Amino acid sequence: MRKIVVLVLAALILASCAQIRHSDVGSGDVSSAYGSESTPDLKNDTSDRQNTAESEPLTAAPETVPDSGSGTDTEPIVVSVTEPPATEPPVTEPPVTEPAPETAKKDDLTTDGGYKYCSGAAKYLEYIKTENLTLVNKQNEVPEDYLPDLYKKTGMMKEAYFALQAMFAQYKYETGKTVSYNTKLAYRSYEYQYNLFAKYTRQEKEKHPNYTDEQIRQLVNTYSAIPGQSEHHTGLCLDFTPVSDSFAKSDWFKWLSKNAYHFGFILRYGKNQIDITGYKYEPWHWRFVGRDAATEIFTRGITLEEYLGVYPPSSGQESDALELPPDDLN
């Protein structure tokens, strides 16, 4: 841009000089043009004219660019040079994508034994299929120092504990609800059962002051085991809360009643089975036996004693135990 301005100014200056020179030659006399009063030689004059003619093109002004203030109608030619703008590398913005709608993750189900186990339950199938038919009841006691092979601090044997975890996982998969258990409501020591039975005995004695000690004992023994006869000594069972008949109204109990046998568990003391099991209906008390045995017990609607072919003797109870009110026996 600066070079163009300089060229234009130079052209204007040359044009001005040429005009002045032509003016001097046209208005002056010959003597002033060629020297003092001497008449120029024709030859020299011709030579001078040729030299002048040859030199004129050198002094001829180029086309002038009229100044904007000269008053001429010709629009001035404005020469401008626009430098190309510096180009920055293009910035590519990542495409904006809408988040995909969340979809429920489908669990890979494993069909085994005609039942579809979720992945959280299927990994315990080995334990679910393990059979353990240990029987502890009023006719089959364990010694005071009996101690099952409990798994860590779970209060249960390993196969029973992991089958229980499988059942918890399946219930959560199907319902979205979480359940748990209290380890203190699983295994019980001989001493613990002794103190529990003694507590219930005192409570019943206060309620029934006219009962004999043996009647009180028999009454308590319809819902609490004598030390050594409790299934809780095995580490194969547990009580869910609440430990009352109201548990039968819970969604968890309803699910257990239909599905627990697929995981090797049975309702140990069902309705109207006191003549065989020796205990009242306990909807909260569930026992692990293994899937095959549990399936048959559930399908046939029988007790563990009946499955094993072990029945309580038809006699042996004290006669005064038969005098307990019917409400206390059901």
Note the pLDDT tens digit of each residue in 79-133.
Answer: 444 555 555 555 555 554 444 444 445 678 999 999 999 999 999 999 999 999 9
Residue 141 lies in a domain: yes
Q: Please say if the pLDDT value at position 25 is more than 50.
A: no
Residue 276 lies in a domain: yes
222 and 291 fall within a common domain? yes
Residue 19 lies in a domain: yes
46 and 157 fall within a common domain? no
Neighbours of 134 (CB within 10 A): 17
Q: Which residues are catalytic?
A: 282
pLDDT at residue number 9: 63
195 and 266 fall within a common domain? yes
Residue 73 lies in a domain: no
CATH code for the domain in which residue 179 is found: 3.30.1380.10
Pairwise pLDDT comparison (282 vs 67), residue with the higher score:
282
132 and 39 fall within a common domain? no
- pLDDT level of residue 54 (50, 70, 90 thresholds): very low
Residue 205 lies in a domain: yes
Residue 97 lies in a domain: no
Domain count, the chain: 2
Neighbours of 131 (CB within 10 A): 13
117 and 44 fall within a common domain? no
Q: Check: CB of residue 121 under 8 Å from CB of residue 166.
A: yes
263 and 193 fall within a common domain? yes
Q: Alpha helices of the chain — where are they, by DSSP H?
A: 2-27, 30-34, 42-59, 119-122, 125-128, 158-175, 190-207, 213-220, 251-259, 274-277, 291-300, 304-308, 326-329
285 and 196 fall within a common domain? yes
Treating both helix axes as pointing N-terminal to C-terminal, what angle do 2-27 and 42-59 enclose, rounded to 10 degrees?
150
Residue 286 lies in a domain: yes
Neighbours of 165 (CB within 10 A): 17
Q: Please say if the pLDDT value at position 36 is more than 70.
A: no
188 and 128 fall within a common domain? yes
Q: Please say if the pLDDT value at position 265 is more than 90.
A: yes
42 and 115 fall within a common domain? no
196 and 273 fall within a common domain? yes
Domain that holds residue 262: 110-329
Q: Tokens 């568990």: give the residue.
A: 265
User: How high does pLDDT run on average in the chain?
Assistant: 79
Provide the residue type at 247 as one letter.
F
264 and 150 fall within a common domain? yes
Read off the pLDDT of each residue in 266-295 and give the average, rounded to a whole number: 97
Residue 307 lies in a domain: yes
Q: Please say if the pLDDT value at position 294 is more than 80.
A: yes
pTM: 0.66
Range from 43-52, 99-108, 217-226, 240-249 carrying the lowest mean pLDDT: 43-52
Read off the pLDDT of residues 167-213 as tens digits, 9 standing for 90 and up. Answer: 999 999 999 999 999 999 999 999 999 999 999 999 999 999 999 99
* Domain termination residue (choose one: 59, 82, 98): 59
Range from 1-5, 222-226, 315-319 carrying the lowest mean pLDDT: 315-319
52 and 129 fall within a common domain? no
Both tokens assigned to 124: 């315990």
